[in-house]
Each structure stands twice: as structure tokens, then as C-alpha cells.
Amino acid sequence: MYEILIDKLGFTYYNVDQSVFYKVISHRLTIILVHVDNCMIVATSIGLVNWVKDGVKESVEITDLGEIHWLLGIELKRDCKAGKLILSQQSYISASLCRFGLEDTKPVSIPMNPIL
């Protein structure tokens, strides 16, 4: 996969994390995050996303799961009209509470201002 992204499609890996690749074409950014056998494509246009998928498909078989909803246990929700990306670990928190028998615990206020 790395050879396809770098040699064939002209991406550069990010020096700090070699599982992150990027490419800028005419001020339009495309980022690819690779984790084992999964990858996420982020781009400034759907055309760039399709270009990457088509380029990779020429060399390896891929399964397109559509728009992302989960990434490494974090739920992602997009609100395009409001321009927001909402990240949630509610599922992880609920599973952790159940694992330790704390699912019926009541919340407690803490002396801190919540960030909304």
C-alpha cells in the first residue's frame, strides 16, 4: 500500500507519523491515514477522494465502506450545514462501565466549568 501511495500516486509520508500521507495539488489537500488494513481518505473535494480510490484499485482490491462513522473506537458524526465534526467515545465509556459493573452509577458534579 505504501509503495502505491508514494511511487504511483505521488504522496509524501508525514515525517512524524509514517502512517499518514499527504499530497497538495493546486492548493487542494488530500490526506490518507493508514492503520493495518484500513485507511481513511480526507480531501478538500470528493473528486480527490475518488481519484485516490481509483488509483489504489488499479493495484489492489479494496472495499469501500462509504463515509466514515468509526475510527479506532471513536464515533464520528458530521454536521455539514453547521460545519461541525463531532467525536464521541460514548460507546467505549458505556462498555467500560459495564465491564466493571458501574453501569448504574449516577453522575456527580465536579468543580469545573464544562466546555460546550
pLDDT digits (tens, 9 = 90+) for 41-68: 989 888 999 999 998 888 888 888 888 8
Tally of domains within the chain? 2
For 26-35, the pLDDT digits (tens) are 889 999 888 8
Cβ-based neighbours of 110, under 8 Å, separated by 6 or more: none
Range(s) of the domain holding residue 72: 67-105
Does residue 115 belong to any structural domain of this protein? no
Do 94 and 47 lie in one domain? The reply is no
- DSSP symbols for 33-87: EEETTEEEEEESSHHHHHHHHHHHHTTS------S--EETTEEEEEETTTTEEEE
Q: Are residues 30 and 43 in contact, defined by beta-carbon separation less than 8 angstroms? A: yes
Residue 28 lies in a domain: yes
* Residue 4 sits in the same domain as residue 56: yes
C-alpha cell at 73: 473506537
3 with 53, same domain: the answer is yes
* 90 and 37 both lie in a single domain: no
C-alpha cell at 32: 490518507
- 88 and 101: one domain? yes
Residue 99 pLDDT level (bands cut at 50, 70, 90): very high
Q: Is residue 80 part of a domain?
A: yes
> Quick one: 38 and 90 in the same domain?
no
The reported pLDDT for the residue numbered 30 is 92
